[in-house]
Structure 1
C-alpha cells in the first residue's frame, strides 16, 4: 500500500502582495473578516487536510529605501493579525483540521508562549502545532526594542533554550496530576506538579506551568531552519520540518543532511517528516492553470517587489550597484546578521560568482515575489505526478505545505476539488480522519 502524504495549507500571505485583488479572491469581504477564515476552515476540513498554517511578522517592511512607504502603499508584509483568537474561533466550527501558529523565540518569552499554546490546545481539543522561528527581519526587531539583529548562531542558541523550557513546562504537571475528587476535596496530587527551576544563558524560569496538561501533552513542534545551524537546531527538537522547495536535488540533499543530524542527536529519522513549501496552481486543465499562472505577474509593481524582497533578506536592494555577483551581496547580508538563506533561495538561478546586472536581478525577483518562477502549474494529474516524484525521492516522510495561494478561496477550492481526489485515487492521501488529535493524524500514514 502506498505511503500517504500529509498536506497543509499555508495562508500566511493570502492577503499580501496583491493577492487580495486577483481574480478568484473574495468579494464583499476583506481581511481580516473572520467569515473568510471560517469558510476556509470548512473547505480545508472537507478536503481532509492535516492543518491550516500561519506564519507571522510583526513589523511593516522598512528595509527598502530605509522607509515603509512602498510597503504601506502596496500591502507588502502587512497587515497581519495575531491568529491565536482566530484559531480559537475556527476550532469551534471544525472537528479535525489542525492549526499551525507561529511565534518568534527571538522576541517572545517561553513561559508566556507555553501557557498560550497549552490553552489553545485545550480549546482545539489537541489540534495545535507551534512553528518556532528565529527572526531575521529588521522591522520586527525594532518593535521589540532591538537596534540591531541578533547574531545568526545566537538566534538558534536562544531558540534551543526556548524550546527546552517550553517542553519542560509542558511536562511540569503530569497527565494524571488532577484528581478532581469531590468527596475529599483534593484537586491535584502535589507530587505530580514540579518546578523546572531553569537558569540559562537567555532565560530564568521557575515553573511549573500553572495549567491543566493539554490533550496532546504538548503541541506538535515545527521548525524551518535550512542553514547548517538551522538544521542542527531542528534536529534537536522538531516533530516536523517545514522547508522550501528549491529543486529536487537540493531537497534530497536537505533530507540527507537532516537525517544525519537526527542520528547525531540520537533520534530516529523515520519519525521526523519534512513538509515542503510549494506554490501550486491547479486547473481543471493545463491550459486553465497556465492562464491563472500568468495573472501572478499582474499583482504588484516593482516598488512593492523591492520592498518585499529587501524585508525578506534584510538588505536594501535599492542600493544594488549596476552590476554585482550574488556572492558579493550575500557576504554583506551575512555580516549584517540578516538572512542569507532567504537571499540565496531567491537567487538560485544565478551562478553566485557570475556578474549580474541590476535590471536582470529586478526582473528575477519580480517573478520570485509573485511565486511565478517556482510555481507548479497544471491539471490535477500533472501536479499529482510532481508531488509523488518529490515525495518518493525525499523518503516518503512528511508531505507538502501548499503555500501562498494566488487567490483564495479559488485556489484552495481547486486543490480540494481537483487535486485531493486524484491523490486519493492513487492511494497517496487519506479518505477519512482517523486520529483525534493533530499529532495522531500526522502519525497516520
Structure 2
C-alpha cells in the first residue's frame, strides 16, 4: 500500500521546472545532501582549504524526481523513482530511502560523464535510453567553438592505455583527432595507475589528487584526512586516457590536460595557482542542460503552485526521511545496549552526530507562511529527539542504562510527532512524495 501511494504521489508531482537550472528561489539543501557536500566542500566554502570544488558552492536545482527502476521505499519495495539534486559538478541521488543514512553510500553521485560521453541515459541498473552524445565542451567556456566536447571523447574510450610511467604528451581536438605535443612534456605529467576495470591509466596529477589528504569536515568537526574515503568515490573509473587540449576560460585560451571518468571530468591547468591546478569540471551543469535542455525531458519537482514553498521542501523532506530511517536502527541498538563495547559506543556517537546535523538543517529551514503550522509541529518532534540525544550522550558518559531507555523513549515520541504532523497536513503535503511511509514507519517504533 505504501509503495502504491508513493508512486501515485510521484506521478502527481507535475510542477515542471525551467529547462535551465535557474530559479527565483535559491534551492534548499537537506541534511542527506549537505553531509555529502560538507566533507570536501565546506572547508573550501569557509576558506579553510584552497582547492577545487567537488560539488559546487550550492545546489543549482530544487530536489527533482527522476525515474530509476531499482529505487526503493522504506520497506525496500520498488518505487521506480528517486530524489536527486544537481550541483555544478555533479548530481546527488538517494536511491534507497530506507537505507542507513549514516552509510557514506546512502547518497551517491551519478555516472553523469559516462552518460554524456555515451549518450546513454541511465534509467535503472540495466536500462538505458539512447540519445546522441553531448556536444557540450568538457571544460572551459560553454560557447567555445573549438574545445573538445563529450562526443569528441566517445571514440577514445576504446583506445589502449598508456604504459605506466610514460610522459603524457598526447592531444585531442574537437573532432576527436589524437595528436602529440612535445612542448607539454616539460610539465612532467605521467601515466600513473592502470585501472583494469576500464583498461585506462590515470594521469599522475589526477591520481595524486584522488589520493590526497587535506582539511575535510566529518562527524561534526574539521580534521585532516583523505579527501575521498575511496580514490574512485567521487570520480568513478577512468573512461579515457588523459589528453592535452586548448580551451577558452573566460575568453582566454588555456592549455589544459583533460581526463573523463565515469562520474567526473578532471582538468589540470599548469598556469593556475597550486591548489586550483586540478579542478573538477561542471559535469552536473552540463548534464542538466543536456538532459533537460537538448534532449527535451521535463524536470519534475515538488507539486505546489507556490514557488516560495520549494526551498523549504528541498531542505525538510529529504531531511525528515533519513532522520526517520536513522531512528529505527538507533532504537534497535538502544534496545540491546553494550555500554562497555568501544565499537557500539562509536556507532552510537556517529548516529548522534547525524541527529545533530538533522536538527541543524531543520532549524535553519525557514518555512513560508503557508507551512508555518506544519513546521511548528515538526519542531515539537525535533525537541523530543534532541532531548533523547542529550540523555543518550549522558548515558554514554555515566554508563547509565536507565538514561539510555529514557532517551530511546524520547526519540520514539519524536518520531511519532513527525508522523502526526505528516498525517495532520496530509492534504496540504500532497506535493511530497513518500510522506505517508513516515507515518507507517513511526507506528513500528515503541
Which interval holds the TM-score relative to the shorter structure?
under 0.3
Q: TM (normalized to structure 2)?
A: 0.26
Determine which structure has greater relative contact order: mean sequence separation of CA pairs < 8 Å that are 6+ residues apart, divided by chain length: 1
